[in-house]
């Protein structure tokens, strides 16, 4: 699986959109971008994934650049409950579970 | 629908002992995987089981083992515990072709 690069931490004001970047410059053509988050003392929670088109669900939006070398997770209206570590990973869709998690981005939502 | 259930939630063991952790996947999920999470190494893949067979394995010593039962429930065992085995052990399950769903983990402390 390709590696990803994320900023170690970010701040966002409550109620504003949180934009979390991820660089995956070595992504292969059949690899998807997945986002998970981990709230303190809980297991990682799946957020969203995509291949090349932008995706949106009830939790977030995923914007993938045309060259697929980077992506941005958008939490449209951040709340204090969105404080967590966010992981961006790339892998062939559901091929196996040998996922390589990086260090992720620790998102602080400021009241 | 109940989520992935891991028991026990917390465990304290002494060096040299062995430990067994249990995971009940979401009903209908046949794939179960295990991860170790430590502050220094982050989330690391241990192994994956599907239909009672180990499908993939991470880079951990043979002291770490697992199994899956016919009802998809899984256990992992660590023998001859070392201080460095102190970690949060996470179990995840998924149906084929879908993202992982994680449990909240078992926090193991080795003294």
Contacts of B50 in chain A (CB under 8 A): none
Residue B1 confidence (pLDDT) above 80: no
pLDDT for position A17: 97
**Cα end-to-end span (Å), chain B:** 37
Whole-angstrom CA distances from A35 to A22, A24, A110, B5, B74 are: 10, 13, 22, 22, 25
Residue A94: pLDDT band by 50, 70, 90 thresholds? low
Q: How many CB atoms lie within 10 A of CB A65?
A: 12
Separation CA B64–CA A85 (nearest Å): 27
The arithmetic mean of pLDDT across residues A35-39, rounded, is 96
Query: Alpha carbon A31 to chain centroid distance?
Result: 15
- Report pLDDT digits (tens) over B9-41: 999 999 999 999 999 999 999 999 999 999 888
pLDDT for position B2: 80
* Dihedral (CA of B83, B84, B87, B90) sign: negative
pLDDT for position A95: 66
Q: Supply B1's token pair.
A: 């629908």
The arithmetic mean of pLDDT across residues A82-94, rounded, is 88
Residue of B nearest to A85 (CA): B42
pLDDT for position B32: 95
Residue of B nearest to A47 (CA): B99
A25: Cα within 13 Å, side-chain hemisphere: 2
Residue A96 confidence (pLDDT) above 70: no
Contacts of B45 in chain A (CB under 8 A): 97-100
Of the candidates A45, A98, A104, the beta carbon closest to that of B45 is on A98
Q: How many A-B residue pairs are in contact by the CB < 8 A criterion?
A: 54
Residue B87 dihedral angles phi and psi, to the nearest 5°: -175, 175
Q: How far is A96 from chain B (nearest CA, A)?
A: 8
A76: left (phi over 0), alpha (psi -120 to 50) or beta: alpha
Show the beta-strand stretches assigned E in B1-111.
5-7, 10-13, 19-24, 31-38, 42-50, 53-57, 64-68, 74-78, 87-94, 101-102, 106-110
Separation CA A27–CA B28 (nearest Å): 31
Residue A87: pLDDT band by 50, 70, 90 thresholds? very high
**Contact yes or no for A44 and B97 at CB 8 A:** no
pLDDT for position A69: 95
Three-state secondary structure string covering A70-89: EEEEEECCCCHHHCEEEEEE
- Report pLDDT digits (tens) over B75-99: 999 999 999 999 999 999 998 878 8
Residue B6 dihedral angles phi and psi, to the nearest 5°: -120, 135
């Amino acid at each position: 699986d390709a590696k990803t690069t994320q900023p170690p931490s970010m701040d966002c004001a409550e109620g504003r959109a949180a934009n979390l970047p991820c660089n995956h410059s070595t992504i292969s053509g059949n690899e998807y971008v997945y986002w998970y988050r981990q709230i303190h003392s809980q297991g990682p929670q799946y957020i969203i994934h995509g291949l090349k088109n932008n995706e949106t669900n009830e939790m977030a939006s995923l914007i993938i650049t045309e060259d697929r070398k980077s992506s941005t997770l958008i939490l449209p209206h951040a709340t204090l409950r969105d404080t967590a570590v966010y992981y961006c990973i790339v892998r062939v869709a559901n091929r196996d579970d040998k996922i390589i998690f990086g260090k992720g981005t620790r998102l602080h939502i400021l009241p | 629908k109940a989520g992935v259930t891991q028991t026990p939630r917390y465990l304290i063991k002494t060096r040299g002992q062995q430990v067994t952790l249990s995971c009940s996947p979401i009903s209908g999920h046949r794939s179960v995987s295990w991860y170790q999470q430590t502050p220094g190494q982050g989330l690391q893949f241990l192994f994956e089981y599907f239909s009672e067979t180990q499908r993939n394995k991470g880079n951990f010593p043979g002291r770490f083992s697992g199994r899956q039962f016919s009802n998809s429930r899984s256990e992992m065992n660590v023998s001859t515990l070392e201080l460095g085995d102190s970690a949060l052990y996470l179990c995840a399950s998924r149906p084929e072709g879908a993202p992982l769903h994680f449990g909240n983990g078992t926090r193991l402390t080795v003294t």
